[in-house]
């Protein structure tokens, strides 16, 4: 059976669910927005410009806040797999002739779209902070955010496949993703961090996704853009591959 | 070739730190264009057998042969498997899409099925607003959209009240008569098994016996004697009395059952504090005798 029809139907279902649960959108956008307002706003005058004077702290952290929004939306997207298992929707899909990759890719596709829309709300604050978004900046940001969401939803699906409860999933994802985000140059320039922290940050694929996004927006050229984009895309492919593989390999519905 | 052919299936659940549990042990059966009930207590292996047929559980050994691909197979699970945030129509369309059915064709089928199941006026309501019985019928509609040749019903009336259960089975009967399909029903309710063409009795992962409800009843003669008492001593005394008359006696949880008991003289029972009932045999009697572990034969 051609799985594209099943995939798009499942993806539409995710989008309809999203529209009928506006609290999910609020939860994904509000937390990064408040973090940005209260934490970064509080420090901005004390710290001054960052990234070799290229941007104020408030503007510099916007891509990081956009990626945090993507992270929260990705967690919600992956959690929906656990919810589907509890509601019985997962077993309906698993006993159908639809290929299993269509289940994973529908979650990644719809989840990424939702995450992107939410992240763009944050990103569009940049012009108000003195950073104009050029067409290249917009395309680059969208691609980088899509890479991040694809990777994180894929990783989340792999995790959700083996974790039974939403509480357990939250615990694992927070323990994994929050340090990953904090050590990715989301709120400070990695190139100016202490040696040990710089070392960890450079091994973090999210750092390179932020670098690619900031390069596109003309906010920082501290990293080689080709390398940054290469790692960013590889991260997305790895995450998506892991998510698809996790669901497709098992013969049990769990 | 039958719609379902299973040969010598064995499934073992292995969990770290626990003993292996044999869920299915040497189960073989065939079924075609009938309603076959899998009757057994919790843990008998009914759902595992369903899972093997639905290809969601891989057997450790044995064979599953069927001419129908997953495209011709649908499952109604123990609890409704519908997206509560979607409308009934959206759920049914999703079911069609998962089976590769074009939207126009799916819409046509949805119209027909909704009429048959009397849910036409609820098609555009979100599932979360439906009662348990209506959600069940919507779930059955979801399973029927692909027009399956094999329909698996896994304890489909769990949690439903008597009216909702009756309504579900009335709908099911109509659908079966009209479309004809192989229905496999996992249940622990005797009255639901009675509706089936054949009954497979399962116990501890084994297929104990497979026959029609009428033949199960006929195997116990025209009358059975059911013995119940408040204390075990009285049961033992009646057991001794019946055996002295060379009767075949089966001990079940609630007392004793004696098949072919039409000529037992109840007046000659030496024990007062017991309840003796001479009645036509039921499927429940046959089930109790065949699945009881402490049967005295």
- Whether chain B has a CB inside 8 Å of the CB on A88: the answer is yes
In a domain, A34, yes or no: yes
The contacts of residue A247 (CB under 8 Å, 6+ apart) are A100, A101, A103, A104, A157, A161
pLDDT tops 70 at residue A44: no
In a domain, A254, yes or no: no
The contacts of residue A53 (CB under 8 Å, 6+ apart) are none
In a domain, A9, yes or no: yes
The contacts of residue B7 (CB under 8 Å, 6+ apart) are B28, B62, B63, B64, B65
pTM of the model: 0.83
pLDDT tops 60 at residue A210: yes
Give the pLDDT confidence score for residue B120 in this predicted structure. Answer: 93
In a domain, A206, yes or no: yes
Per residue in A52-70, pLDDT tens? 556 677 888 899 999 999 9
ipTM value of the model?
0.83
The position carrying tokens 């089930």 is B287
Give the pLDDT confidence score for residue B67 in this predicted structure. Answer: 57
Confidence of residue A223 (pLDDT cuts 50, 70, 90): confident
Buried b (16+ CB within 10 A) or exposed e, A76-96: bbbbbbbebbebbbbbbbbbb
Does the distance separating the beta carbons of A6 and B71 come in below 8 Å? no
Please tell me the distance from the alpha carbon of residue B43 to that of residue B52, in angstroms, as a whole number.
15
Give the pLDDT confidence score for residue B162 in this predicted structure. Answer: 85
Nearest to A154 by CA among A251, A64, A237: A237
Nearest to A5 by CA among A131, A105, A108: A105
In a domain, A71, yes or no: yes
Give the pLDDT confidence score for residue B127 in this predicted structure. Answer: 95
In a domain, A109, yes or no: yes
pLDDT tops 80 at residue A39: no
Say which range, A49-58, A170-179, A184-193, B164-173, has the weakest mean pLDDT: A49-58
- Whether chain A has a CB inside 8 Å of the CB on B95: the answer is yes
Per residue in A142-151, pLDDT tens? 999 999 999 9
In a domain, A253, yes or no: no
Give the pLDDT confidence score for residue B294 in this predicted structure. Answer: 40
Q: Which residues of B touch A13 (CB under 8 A)?
A: 83, 86, 90, 94
- C-alpha angle B160/B175/B93, rounded to 5°? 80
Give the pLDDT confidence score for residue A36 in this predicted structure. Answer: 81
Q: What is the mean pLDDT of chain A?
A: 88
| Residue numbers of the domain that contains A156 | 3-248
Q: Determine the residue among B14, B83, B93 to mutate to test chain A binding: the one whose Cβ has the most chain A Cβ atoms within 10 Å.
A: B83
| DSSP codes of every residue in A198-250 | HHHHHT-HHHHHHHHHHHHTTS--SS-HHHHHHHHHHHHHHHHHHHHHHHHH-
pLDDT > 70 fraction of chain A, expressed in percent and rounded: 93
Q: Determine the residue among B59, B68, B94, B153 to mutate to test chain A binding: the one whose Cβ has the most chain A Cβ atoms within 10 Å.
A: B94
Give the pLDDT confidence score for residue B225 in this predicted structure. Answer: 92
Number of domains present in the structure of chain A:
1
Per residue in B59-115, pLDDT tens? 999 988 775 667 788 999 888 899 999 999 999 999 999 999 999 999 999 999 999
Top-confidence range, A10-24, A30-44, A146-160: A146-160
Please tell me the distance from the alpha carbon of residue B250 to that of residue B257, in angstroms, as a whole number.
5
Query: What residues of chain B score a pLDDT lower than 50?
Result: 293-297
Please tell me the distance from the alpha carbon of residue A141 to that of residue B67, in angstroms, as a whole number.
51
Per residue in A72-85, pLDDT tens? 999 999 999 999 99
Does the distance separating the beta carbons of A87 and B99 come in below 8 Å? no
Please tell me the distance from the alpha carbon of residue B297 to that of residue B246, in angstroms, as a whole number.
11
Q: Closest CB to B90: pick one of A16, A21, A88.
A: A16
């Amino acid at each position: 059976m051609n799985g594209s029809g099943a995939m798009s139907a499942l993806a539409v279902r995710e989008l309809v669910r999203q529209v009928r649960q506006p609290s999910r959108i609020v939860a994904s956008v509000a937390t990064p927005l408040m973090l940005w307002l209260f934490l970064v706003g509080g420090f901005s005058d004390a710290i001054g410009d960052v990234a070799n004077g290229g941007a104020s702290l408030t503007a510099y952290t916007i891509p990081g806040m956009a990626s945090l929004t993507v992270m929260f939306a990705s967690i919600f997207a992956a959690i929906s797999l656990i919810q589907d298992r509890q509601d019985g929707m997962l077993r309906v899909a698993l006993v159908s002739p639809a290929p299993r990759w269509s289940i994973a890719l529908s979650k990644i596709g719809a989840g990424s779209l939702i995450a992107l829309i939410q992240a763009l709300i944050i990103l569009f604050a940049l012009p108000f902070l003195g950073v104009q978004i050029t067409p290249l900046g917009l395309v680059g940001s969208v691609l980088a955010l899509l890479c991040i969401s694809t990777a994180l939803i894929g990783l989340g699906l792999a995790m959700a496949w083996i974790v039974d409860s939403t509480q357990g999933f939250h615990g694992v994802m927070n323990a994994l993703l929050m340090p990953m985000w904090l050590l990715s140059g989301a709120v400070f320039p990695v190139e100016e961090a202490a040696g040990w922290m710089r070392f960890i940050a450079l091994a973090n694929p999210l750092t390179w996704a932020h670098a690619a996004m900031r390069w596109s927006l003309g906010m920082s050229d501290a990293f080689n853009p080709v390398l940054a984009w290469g790692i960013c895309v590889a991260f997305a492919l790895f995450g998506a591959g892991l998510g698809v593989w996790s669901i497709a390999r098992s013969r049990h519905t769990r | 070739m039958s719609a379902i052919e299973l040969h010598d299936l064995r499934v073992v659940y292995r969990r770290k730190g626990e003993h292996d549990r044999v869920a299915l042990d040497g189960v073989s059966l065939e079924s075609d264009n009938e309603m076959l009930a899998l009757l057994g207590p919790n843990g008998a292996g009914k759902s595992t057998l369903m899972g093997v047929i639905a290809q969601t559980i891989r057997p450790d050994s044995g064979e599953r042969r069927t001419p129908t691909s997953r495209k011709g197979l649908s499952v109604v699970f123990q609890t409704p498997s519908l997206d509560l945030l979607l409308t009934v129509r959206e759920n049914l369309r999703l079911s069609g899409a998962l089976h590769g059915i074009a939207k126009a064709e799916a819409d046509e089928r949805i119209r027909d099925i909704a009429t048959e199941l009397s849910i036409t006026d609820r098609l555009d309501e979100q599932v979360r607003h439906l009662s348990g019985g209506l959600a069940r019928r919507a779930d059955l509609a979801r399973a029927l959209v692909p027009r399956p040749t094999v329909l698996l019903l896994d304890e489909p009336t769990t949690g439903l009240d008597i009216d909702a259960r009756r309504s579900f089975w009335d709908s099911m009967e109509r659908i079966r008569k009209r479309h004809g399909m192989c229905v496999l029903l996992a249940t622990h309710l005797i009255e639901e098994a009675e509706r089936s063409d054949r009954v497979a009795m399962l116990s501890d992962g084994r297929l104990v016996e497979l026959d029609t409800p009428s033949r199960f009843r006929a195997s116990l003669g025209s009358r059975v004697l059911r013995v119940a008492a408040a204390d075990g001593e009285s049961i033992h005394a009646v057991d001794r009395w019946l055996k002295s008359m060379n009767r075949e006696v089966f001990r079940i949880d609630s007392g004793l059952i004696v098949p072919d008991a039409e000529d037992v003289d109840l007046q000659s029972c030496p024990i007062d504090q017991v309840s003796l009932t001479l009645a036509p045999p039921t499927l429940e009697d046959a089930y109790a005798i065949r699945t009881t572990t402490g049967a005295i034969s």
